[in-house]
Chain A
Amino acid sequence: MTSLTLKINNKDYTIEADPKMPLLWAIRDVVGLTGTKYGCGIAQCGACTVHMDGNPVRSCSIPVSAVANKNITTIEGLSEDNSHVVQQAWIAEQVPQCGYCQSGQIMAATALLKKNANPTDKDIDNAMQGHICRCGTYPRIRKAIKTASTMMAQKASTK
């Protein structure tokens, strides 16, 4: 067991954990933020996606010891009140069914839109193909990303 400080959603958490413990379990079971999900444990499904310094990463496959001094953002860090444009778009398009994979989907979509405000279908494919949704919400995920992009453009033009 080692003492580690994690910077999650702009807050410092000092935890005692096995340095080999994946970040996923530190976030969920030690810090207690359960919006980030366990899906496969081998970086195949994307349910555990969080941002590390703004980039989407698979928290199930990163040891907690490797994230010291990194800025971690989880789904809870997007917004508390669903005001983030991607959350708004997800609601507008009624994307979730069971909802279990959606934290990861939303984190991936957010990272994509931050880098590319107007993604093509191909861009969406590349950013989202690592994410499994067993309910099959893919058509709506694609639509919601485009809706978010439009909403962002509208916001920018009214500023």
Chain B
Amino acid sequence: METLNKNISRRNFMRLTSLSGAALTLGFYFPAAAKEAEMLKGDVAENLGIDLNAWISIDTKGKVTIINHRAEMGQGAYQAVPQIIAEELEVNLNDINIVFGVGNESKYGNQITGGSSTVRGSYKHLGRMGASAREMLKEAAANKWKVNKKECDAENGFIIHQPSGRKANYGDLVAEASKLEPPKTVALKKPEDYKIVRKPLPRQDTPLKVNGKAEFGLDKKLPGMLYAVVERSPRFIGKVKSVDDAATRKVPGVKHVFVTRTGVFASTREGVAVVADTLWAAMQGRKVLKVTWDDEGFEHHSTEQLYAKMNEDLKTKEGLSFRTKGNVASALAKATRKVEATYETPYESHSCMEPLNCIADTKADSCEIWGPIQAPGWVQDNLIQVLGLPREKVTVHMTFLGGGFGRKAFTDYTQEAALISKEIKAPVQVVWTREDDTLIGPFRPGMVYNIAAGLNEQGSISSFRYKMAGQDMDHQWPNANRESYNGSTTEGFLEPYFNSIPHYSFADLPLESPIPVMWWRSVYASTNGFAYESFMDELSIAAGKDPLDFRRQHLGDDRYQVVIDKLEEVSNWKSRKKNEGYGVAITECFSSIVGEIVKVSKGADGKVKIDKVWAVMDCGWYVNPDIIKAQVEGSIVMALGAATKHETHFKDGKAVEANFNTYKMPRITDIPEIEVHIVDNEEKAGGVGEPGLPPFSPALTNAIFDLTGKRIRKLPFNLQEV
């Protein structure tokens, strides 16, 4: 125990004593220099001043409480985390009480629910934590009965001594178990013995979500809470020149009107807050507010200008080199056959069904936050800095999130609320209208790609030159190095291509614009995938090969071959008919490989319709197959929207689409049959919430090419007009 890092301050202790009757509490933490998490009992951690990461607690009645340190925004973290622990702890999932952890990076480690990281980042620690508690309970029982621990089994919340049939509830053993040391090493179960993991168990949050009881950020209320809406700079970085609030102040219920300044990456977003005693009054006050903006000194971009600049850069510049091998230029010159194409993808809004909102209660010496928050740790870090408060005085509570998709993994809407509360010295809920949510961004960046490749005589790729133009999210941070290449340039591209292609180069051309951009479900892979996999299809056609065989030939790795074989099998690829178009695409991101095949045909009206989508997901070790299927279905629907329905345009420096009447969403009438297959293997756990998105749009356009001979290289396109 001497090796423990005692420099960690006694901050934000788990209030163990506040858990009534808690007798055995076990959690994990990461010693400063260690790669492996260490298991520690709650009281030991408290005495040593160590903040545990996720933890479990069993009380004397045998009730298990699990702190879920990840945000729940639909992707199933609420289910996956306890499902892993319950498997190893040998308890029934229904007997577990799940509590959201508060935002605390030092306690829970990286808490940002992004990059599809909940399971893949922590499944081994969570499993070990459950197994450690189980072993301690077994040891306690063996000591009590004076029998060999090896003769004791854990089952459904009981320890059973097999030879005698003696049985004890976990609750009766926790007092004894809490006196024991957690085991140094613990064996995890073999997949063939799983009873809970890998089973399509119903989600614990579903009952709350069919009767209105699930509490989202917008549903949370505090006593004495006021409501605010904010008129924000429509050109993102414009300054407030003047405010005429005479009419606003006359609206009954309006209490305050003032200018707000919020950090958005390295920029400041100005706005005018209208605070009232009801949300409706605040909205009415804002309707009659007159703000004039100082929009001098920066570009007012239009969509046409942005794409013209990206296309121009691709033609005239080499870009920031990310990854190269061999000599692409000479190999391209020598190629038997050369193919070159340019692809465009749009700017997009996240448009979560729950618009952004946040409750803040900022006092002179503390700040408390409630809201739909993906990154509570970041929010805490940001508020410590902005408010100048010590960490233990900033508390961040996560409610259920009505969608996230990356937008709620940011600190602007929380900081804005905290500063408004500080100004009015009262708790406040800041509500973004749908229009605010759609117009203000940050947006998924629009991208333009140019790819050139050479094929050799055997129809294999001999050279591959890829250039990507678009805004680099990383270049927006304070003190960002704008000469640095985009580290996500190859996100989505399949690893084995780097082995099979002898000459390649990948580079990016960062575009500068005042338009704020950020991660959107599957991030760069969401657009890269369209370019990569459309181009692979074009190459396979140029090589005269079947698109699946062409990929087989280049992806000499078992995992990828399995995905290709499965796609071929489930879609009946080989027996596809003449009047049907089939398209395939395979991408990987966040350590998962997903292949999709789209089938299209022409309806009675002569228009192209999507008949079916098959998806094969290889996410390695996994928890709940039904949640994986749901996530892939949802990813395909979201990709369908970005491919065929919606796009954010810019005109004179402002976003154009403001609500669902112009930012059109896919509807139930647009959705084809979706069939999802999961590959069973023991590879490292990969992401689930995002990797199903990137392959859809190229699989769709490849299918349309197969049916009609028409190659679509620009998204979105109107399916009705193909």
Contacts and interface: CB of A to CB of B under 8 A. Distances in A.
Interface stretch (B57-65, B166-174, B396-404, B462-470): B396-404
B600 interface: no
Contacts of B355: 38-39
Contacts of B434: 39-42
A32 B219 CA distance: 9
Contacts of B100: none
Contacts of B215: 34
Nearest to A45: B660
B669 A99 contact: no
Contacts of A36: 212
B635 interface: yes
A59 interface: no
B671 interface: yes
Contacts of A29: 278-280
Interface of B: 73-76, 202-203, 205-216, 218-219, 221, 252, 278-281, 284, 351-355, 400-405, 433-434, 626, 630-631, 633-638, 659-661, 665-669, 671, 673-674
The 3 A-B residue pairs whose C-beta atoms are closest, nearest first, are A35-B212, A136-B637, A100-B402
- Determine chain B's interface SS by DSSP, over half rule: loop
A80 B206 contact: no
Interface of A: 1, 17-18, 21-22, 25, 28-30, 32-42, 44-45, 47, 74-76, 78-80, 82, 87, 90-91, 94-103, 106, 124-125, 128-142
B402 A125 contact: no
Contacts of B252: 1, 18
Task: Report which residue of B205, B284, B404, B637 has the largest number of chain A beta carbons within 10 angstroms of its beta carbon.
Answer: B637
Given A39-B353, A82-B207, A99-B400, A124 B659 contact: no
Contacts of B352: 98, 100, 134
Given A25-B280, A29-B279, A90-B206, A132 B353 contact: yes
Given A40-B434, A98-B401, A78 B211 contact: yes
- Determine chain A's interface SS by DSSP, over half rule: loop
Contact of B210 (A38, A74, A91): A91
Contacts of A139: 633, 671, 673-674
A129 B73 contact: no
Nearest to A1: B252
Contacts of B74: 96-99, 135
Contacts of B637: 133, 135-136, 138
A41 to B, nearest CB: 6
A106 to B, nearest CB: 6
B634 A135 contact: yes
Contacts of B666: 136, 138
18 contacts: A18-B280, A29-B278, A34-B218, A37-B353, A44-B660, A82-B211, A96-B74, A96-B209, A97-B75, A98-B400, A100-B403, A129-B669, A131-B667, A133-B353, A136-B638, A138-B666, A138-B668, A139-B674
Nearest to A25: B280
Given A21-B280, A90-B206, A91-B206, A138 B671 contact: yes
Given A41-B434, A134-B403, A136-B636, A98 B210 contact: no
B68 to A, nearest CB: 16
A129 B433 contact: no
Nearest to B279: A29
A37 B354 contact: yes
A140 B674 CA distance: 10
Contact of A137 (B75, B404, B405, B634): B634
Contacts of A133: 353, 637
Contacts of B76: 97
Nearest to B219: A34
Contacts of A1: 252
Given A30-B278, A97-B634, A98-B354, 9 more contacts: A33-B212, A44-B660, A91-B207, A96-B206, A100-B353, A101-B402, A130-B667, A134-B403, A136-B636
A89 to B, nearest CB: 9
Task: Report which residue of A32, A95, A139, A142 has the largest number of chain B beta carbons within 10 angstroms of its beta carbon.
Answer: A139
B638 A42 contact: no
